[in-house]
Amino acid sequence: MDAFALFSAFLMGVIEGLTEFLPVSSTGHLIVLGEAIGFKGPPGKTFEITIQLGAILAVIWVFRQTLVRIAFGMWKRGSQEYYVALNLLLAFLPAMVLGATLHGYITTLLFTPLVVALALIAGGIAIIIIERMRPNPQIHSIPEMGPLAALLVGFGQALAMIPGTSRSGATIISALLVGVERKTAAEFSFLLAIPTMLAATAFSLLKARSELDFSGMGQIGIGFLAAFIVSLLVVRWLLAVISRIGFTPFAWYRIALGTLILVWLALRTPVA
């Protein structure tokens, strides 16, 4: 396998790790980067599924102690772990139902650089407005959220099926709107990513089972490791700084990137 194929797989893994848990849209970045560098991965969906799995395993590792507490404590009704598990379940349901129903249509119709650019810009503007006008935080831990708030965050997450929207961005901003403080919103988004992304990965594997191919193990391995390592760093960094920096810097990044993509698309379109 040539060096460029391996390097391009490394780049795709790095971008997956950098963007999956930031409110900037990993899918959007991968679509644009893949088209810009002419990325050719192994046949089928193996590469895409593998780098996403790397990102999922990273967040599982970061929250491993929390996940163990939830697993053992959620069976005791009224416990903190019970309410965390309940809120995660309620927030997961909208994406599960709508994703299973609409995934094929959205993938076919909306996975284009133009849609990504417009969604990046629209999402950036929404983040700026919500950061400035959001209610004062009333919810400072995940168990405090309650069923209605969790369900509303879940419907926000479902919007991320549109490429360029950002799953983490949609969940975090929805959480801010219902009165969750920033760090708790980020933590809930990361925990919610685990069942959501595992389900999406399983669904993708099922749908693409006849296309799966492991012939490009070099690309697959490099992409997986890059996504895993970079995701570890990003999740830990974001949890450490988000209360201090907020989400507005990511909003301006989204707007700038979306604008650049529109310019790129305009320049490469031949004049009639």
Residues comprising the chain, all counted: 272
Question: Global pTM?
Answer: 0.84
Asked whether 191 and 65 are in contact (CB, 8 A), the reply is: no
Q: Which two tokens stand for residue 186?
A: 């980020």
Percent of the chain with pLDDT over 90: 40
Confidence of residue 213 (pLDDT cuts 50, 70, 90): low
Asked whether 184 and 141 are in contact (CB, 8 A), the reply is: yes
Write the DSSP string, 103-125.
HHHHHHHH-SHHHHHHHHHHHHH
| Residue among 139, 128, 174 at smallest CA distance from 155 | 174
Asked whether 227 and 55 are in contact (CB, 8 A), the reply is: yes
Q: Which two tokens stand for residue 54?
A: 């790397």
Confidence of residue 222 (pLDDT cuts 50, 70, 90): very high
Please tell me whether residue 137 adopts helix, strand or coil conformation. coil
Write the DSSP string, 31-99.
HHHHHHHT---SSTTHHHHHHHHHHHHHHHHHTHHHHHHHHHHTTSTTSHHHHHHHHHHHHHHHHHHHH
Q: CA–CA separation, 186 vs 191, rounded Å?
A: 9
Confidence of residue 150 (pLDDT cuts 50, 70, 90): very high
Q: Which residues, 6 or more positions from 39, have their beta carbon under 8 angstroms from its beta carbon?
A: 8, 9, 12, 33
Per-residue pLDDT, 191 = 93
pLDDT tens for residues 58-117? 999 999 999 999 999 999 988 999 999 999 999 999 888 877 676 666 666 667 888 888
Strand partners, 139: 180
Mean of the pLDDT values across residues 223-234?
94
Please tell me whether residue 197 adopts helix, strand or coil conformation. helix
> At residue 272, does pLDDT exceed 60?
no
| Residue among 239, 211, 224 at smallest CA distance from 51 | 224
Q: Which two tokens stand for residue 166?
A: 């950002």
pLDDT tens for residues 23-67? 888 877 888 888 888 888 776 677 888 898 999 999 999 999 999
